[in-house]
Amino acid sequence: GADDKKPVSRLGFSAIAATVADSITVPAGYTTQALLPWGTPLMDGAVPFRTDASNSAAEQARQMGSHHDGMHFFPIDLKSGGSSSTEGLLVMNHEYCDPDLLHTNGPSPLPRPLAEVEKELAAHGNSIAHIRLNSAGEWQLVEGSRYNRRITGATHMEIDGPLRAHAAMKTLYSPQGIATRGTLNNCSNGVTPWGTYLTCEENWAGVFINSGVQPREQSRYGVPDNEDDNYYHWHTAAPVSDLAARFNAAPQADSAEQDYRNEPNTYGWIVEIDPFAPDSTPVKHTALGRFAHEGIIFHPPVEGQPLVAYSGDDSRFEYIYKYVSRDAYQQASAGSHLLQNGTLYVAVFHDSGRGEWRALDINDAAFKQRAGEAGIHFDSQADVLLNTRLAADVVGATKMDRPEWGAVNPMNGDVYFTLTNNSKRKQDQVNAANPRAKNIYGHIIRWAENERPQATAFHWDVFWFGGEAGTNQPAYGKSSDAASEIACPDGLRFDNDGLLWIETDISNSSPLLGSERFGNNGMYCADPVTGDFRRFLSGPMGCELTGIAITPDQSTLFVNIQHPGEGSTPDNFTSHWPDGGNSRPRSATVAIRRQDGGKVGT
Ligand code: FEO
Ligand code: CA
Ligand code: CA
Ligand code: CA
C-alpha cells in the first residue's frame, strides 16, 4: 500500500535536540513570538497586568485568563467565505489557575476570601482575541475590537439537548433546569463545520465537594468527598456568596430548586461559543455526553450524511466516544441542531485489530439487554447521558490509557488519538490496544471506519509507541531514531498537507521531564506516509505544550505554553518565561513563522 513507499521526506527542518533551556527552541530558519500572556488587557476598559499579580477579580475578568490550552484561529472573513491568514479571531481555553502565581502572596488559608475565589473564577474560561499580522511579521491584538471577549467561570450559559429542563439540572440559579453559570477546566477544543468554537470541560469534578452520600452522577466522576481532594475550596468563600457556595453539592434545603445539589450535573459537557457573535450565550450540549471531555474532533462533513465527531475521556481506564447526528448535514442549514439530537457510541477495541462502536441508547436492544444483565437501570436517555461513564461501563467498552486529543487525517480519513500514559495499568489489565503495563510513555492509536464515518465497525492499529531506547519500552513506530523518542503525547493536529503535529505533556512529577533524553516538553512533527518523526520545538521550564492553531496558508502555527514554572511559590519562580529577568512565569501563546514566509514544517 501507499504506506509502504518511502517518498522523499516532506519535513523541511532538522530535528532539534532535547533541552532544558527556559525558552522556546525551534529549528534554524524559524522565528517565534510570545503573545497574549495571562493578564494581557483584552476587553475595553481593561487595565494593564501588574507584575506582582495584584490585579483584582474585576480586572482579571477583562484580561486574558490563565493556563492557556486548546485554541483555534478563525479567519476574520470566514463568514463571507474568506480565508485570511493575516487577521482573525484567536479563541482559546483557560484550563485552570495556579493560586500560588495568581495572587501576590499565594492563596489565603481557609476559609478562602471571596475576592480571591472571584479572581480564580475569572482566570478560568475562554478568551476571544481579535489579532492581526503587522508588516513586521508580528501578531498584535486589535485593541478596541468588538470581538474581544472573556468568558469565565461565572458567565451565564444555556443547557440544551436531552438534559434541558430535566429534573437533574434544576438549581436555585435555574429552577427550570435550563441554564447554569460558567465553564471550567476547559482542556482541548473543537471547531464546528459552521464556524463556531467548542470548549470541553475536563477535570471539573475536582472543583466540587459532597461529603454526604453521593448519587452515582457524582461518585462515578470522582467528585471529592473531603477537603484534601478538592482543588480550590471555593465553597468555603467568606463572605458567603452563592457564586462560590454552589460548589458544595451536599443538599442544603428541601428541594433541588432551592439549593445546588445538582450544580455538578451542569458540568462535564461540551460548550459551543460563537466567536463572531460577541453578545451570544454559550450553550452546553448534553447530547454529546458527560465525562472528562478532553476535546472533540469532527470528520469532514459529507453533504446529506450524518455529522460524526469523536471525544476522549481523559482519565485512567476511561473511554473513547463517537457522536453521530440524527439529522443529515446540509451545508446551507448546518448549525447547533446537529449537536442536539444524535447517538453517542463508545469504542471497543478487539485484540484482533477490529473494533466496534456500541450505542449508548436506551432504545437500542443490545444496550437494554446489557444494562439489564448488569442490573443497572436508566429511566430515560437523559439519564443515560448524565451517567455516560456508567453507560459505557455497562456495554463493556475498552478501558484506555487516558485518551487525550484526536485528529482526522485529511488525506484518508484515518482517526488518530493520543493515549498519554497510564502508570497504573497492571500486567493482568493489558489488551492489544493498551498493551503496556505501567505505561509511563504513552502511545498513539489510530483507526479507519469501515466504509463510512458513521459505521459501527472499524479497524485499528497503534501508530506510535512512546518510549526510549535501552529500556523495556523502546519508542517505535514506522521508523525510530533518537529524534523520534517521545513521551506522553497529548495535543494532536493534522495540517492540511497531512503532517501530524504532536505536543507532549510529561508531568512535572515524572523523572522523564528534564531528563537528557526528553528535556522539557515540546512539539514533534510526524509524517504518516514516510514515517518521519522529528522534534520541532522545546518549551520553557515546567510547561506543557498544548493548543494548536494554524492559519489557512500554514504560514503561522500558534501553540500554547501552559504552566511554565509549575511548582513555583510566590517567592521562588522556577521559570521566568516569557518576560525574563526575575519575572513571574505566565502561560502565553507562541506564534511560529518561517523566516521566508513558507509553510511551517515543510
Ligand atoms: Fe487537560 Fe487531558 O489534559
Ligand atoms: Ca491535554
Ligand atoms: Ca495531559
Ligand atoms: Ca494541562
Q: What is the ipTM of this complex?
A: 0.97
The string of pLDDT tens digits covering residues 11-46 is 999 999 999 999 999 999 999 999 999 999 999 999
> Is the pLDDT reported for residue 5 higher than 60?
no
Element (DSSP H or E) covering residue 150: strand 149-151
Indicate whether residue 202 lines ligand 1 (CB < 6 A): yes
Cα(33)–Cα(137) distance, integer angstroms: 10
Closest alpha carbon to 523 in 562, 496, 552: 562
- Which atom of ligand 1 approaches the CA of 69 most closely? 1
**Which residue's entry shows cell 479567519?**
75
Looking at the DSSP bridge assignments, the partners of residue 348 are: 356
CATH code, domain with 184: 2.120.10.30
Atom 3 of ligand 1, nearest CA residue: 187
> Is the pLDDT reported for residue 236 higher than 60?
yes
> Is the pLDDT reported for residue 480 higher than 70?
no
Whether 437 is in a domain gets the answer yes
> Is the pLDDT reported for residue 3 higher than 60?
no
The conformation of residue 213, written as its DSSP 8-state character, comes to P
Planar angle of CA 69, 74, 75, nearest 5 degrees: 145
> Is the pLDDT reported for residue 56 higher than 90?
yes
Cα(490)–Cα(544) distance, integer angstroms: 9
Cα–Cα distances in angstroms (integers) from residue 559 to residues 70, 347, 537, in the given order: 9, 30, 10
| Per-residue confidence band for 482, with pLDDT thresholds at 50, 70 and 90 | low
Cα 546 to ligand 3 centre (Å): 9
Three-state DSSP string of 191-206: ECCCCCEEEEECCHHH
Domain interval for residue 526: 16-565+572-594
Cα(488)–Cα(507) distance, integer angstroms: 8
| Per-residue confidence band for 474, with pLDDT thresholds at 50, 70 and 90 | confident
* Average confidence (pLDDT) over 215-229: 98
Cα(340)–Cα(345) distance, integer angstroms: 15
Nearest ligand to the CA atom of 98: 4
Cα 198 to ligand 2 centre (Å): 15
Cα 404 to ligand 3 centre (Å): 7
| Burial label, 383 (beta-carbon count in 10 A; 0-12, 13-18, 19+) | buried
Cα 362 to ligand 3 centre (Å): 32
Cα 271 to ligand 1 centre (Å): 16
The string of pLDDT tens digits covering residues 554-572 is 999 999 999 999 999 999 9
pLDDT of residue 516: 93
Nearest ligand to the CA atom of 202: 1
Indicate whether residue 544 lines ligand 1 (CB < 6 A): no
Indicate whether residue 141 lines ligand 1 (CB < 6 A): no
Work out the percent of the chain whose per-residue pLDDT is above 90: 95
pLDDT of residue 160: 98
In the chain, the amino acid numbered 294 is E
- Which atom of ligand 1 approaches the CA of 203 most closely? 1
Q: What is the mean pLDDT of the chain?
A: 97
* Average confidence (pLDDT) over 329-356: 98
Cα(264)–Cα(257) distance, integer angstroms: 14
Question: What are the cell numbers at 96?
Answer: 485552570
Whether 344 is in a domain gets the answer yes
> Is the pLDDT reported for residue 190 higher than 60?
yes
Question: What are the cell numbers at 318?
Answer: 476511561
Element (DSSP H or E) covering residue 117: helix 114-123
pLDDT of residue 411: 97
Cα 1 to ligand 2 centre (Å): 33
Indicate whether residue 294 lines ligand 1 (CB < 6 A): yes
- Which atom of ligand 1 approaches the CA of 292 most closely? 2
Nearest ligand to the CA atom of 294: 1
- Which atom of ligand 1 approaches the CA of 294 most closely? 2
The string of pLDDT tens digits covering residues 129-150 is 999 999 999 999 999 999 999 9
Cα 201 to ligand 2 centre (Å): 11
Looking at the DSSP bridge assignments, the partners of residue 592 are: 32, 557
* Average confidence (pLDDT) over 483-499: 94
Question: What are the cell numbers at 184?
Answer: 471550567
Indicate whether residue 503 lines ligand 1 (CB < 6 A): no
| Per-residue confidence band for 600, with pLDDT thresholds at 50, 70 and 90 | very high
Indicate whether residue 314 lines ligand 1 (CB < 6 A): yes
* Average confidence (pLDDT) over 516-536: 94
| Per-residue confidence band for 477, with pLDDT thresholds at 50, 70 and 90 | confident
> Is the pLDDT reported for residue 278 higher than 60?
yes
* Average confidence (pLDDT) over 296-315: 98
Question: What are the cell numbers at 161?
Answer: 439537548
Number of neighbouring beta carbons within 10 Å of residue 244: 24
First-to-last C-alpha distance (Å) of the chain:
24
The string of pLDDT tens digits covering residues 421-471 is 999 999 999 999 999 999 999 999 999 999 899 999 999 999 999 999 888
Cα(432)–Cα(416) distance, integer angstroms: 16
| Per-residue confidence band for 472, with pLDDT thresholds at 50, 70 and 90 | confident
Helix residue spans in 287-405 (DSSP H): 365-374, 381-386, 388-394
Cα(600)–Cα(11) distance, integer angstroms: 9
- Which atom of ligand 1 approaches the CA of 404 most closely? 2
Whether 576 is in a domain gets the answer yes
- Which atom of ligand 1 approaches the CA of 420 most closely? 2
**Which residue's entry shows cell 457564586?**
243
Cβ(533)–Cβ(523) below 8 Å: no
Whether 186 is in a domain gets the answer yes
pLDDT of residue 479: 67
- Which atom of ligand 1 approaches the CA of 505 most closely? 3
Cα(519)–Cα(20) distance, integer angstroms: 5
Closest alpha carbon to 601 in 495, 468, 472: 495
| Per-residue confidence band for 526, with pLDDT thresholds at 50, 70 and 90 | very high
Cβ(342)–Cβ(306) below 8 Å: yes
Whether 338 is in a domain gets the answer yes
Cα(545)–Cα(492) distance, integer angstroms: 11
Atom 1 of ligand 1, nearest CA residue: 187
| Per-residue confidence band for 262, with pLDDT thresholds at 50, 70 and 90 | very high
Looking at the DSSP bridge assignments, the partners of residue 209 are: 248
pTM over 0.90: yes
Closest alpha carbon to 508 in 475, 541, 469: 541
Cα 242 to ligand 1 centre (Å): 28
Cα 295 to ligand 2 centre (Å): 8
- Which atom of ligand 1 approaches the CA of 185 most closely? 1
Question: What are the cell numbers at 248?
Answer: 458544595
* Average confidence (pLDDT) over 527-538: 93
Cα 294 to ligand 3 centre (Å): 9
Whether 4 is in a domain gets the answer no
Nearest ligand to the CA atom of 542: 4
Closest alpha carbon to 309 in 353, 266, 345: 345
The bridge status of strand 283-285 relative to strand 156-160 is: parallel
Cα 45 to ligand 2 centre (Å): 32
* DSSP-assigned letters across all residues of 395-454: TTPPPEE-EEEEEE-TTT--EEEEE--BTT--GGG-BTTB--TTBSS-EEEEEEESSSTT
Whether 375 is in a domain gets the answer yes
Cα 188 to ligand 4 centre (Å): 9
> Is the pLDDT reported for residue 1 higher than 80?
no
Indicate whether residue 274 lines ligand 1 (CB < 6 A): no
Cα(456)–Cα(449) distance, integer angstroms: 8
Edge-first strand order for the sheet with 30-35 is: 30-35, 588-594, 556-562, 544-550
Whether 524 is in a domain gets the answer yes
Indicate whether residue 404 lines ligand 1 (CB < 6 A): yes
Cα(421)–Cα(486) distance, integer angstroms: 12
- Which atom of ligand 1 approaches the CA of 187 most closely? 1
Indicate whether residue 95 lines ligand 1 (CB < 6 A): yes
* Average confidence (pLDDT) over 200-204: 98
| Per-residue confidence band for 283, with pLDDT thresholds at 50, 70 and 90 | very high
Report how many domains make up the chain. Answer: 1
Cα(133)–Cα(31) distance, integer angstroms: 14
Residue of higher predicted confidence among 3 and 63: 63
Indicate whether residue 187 lines ligand 1 (CB < 6 A): yes
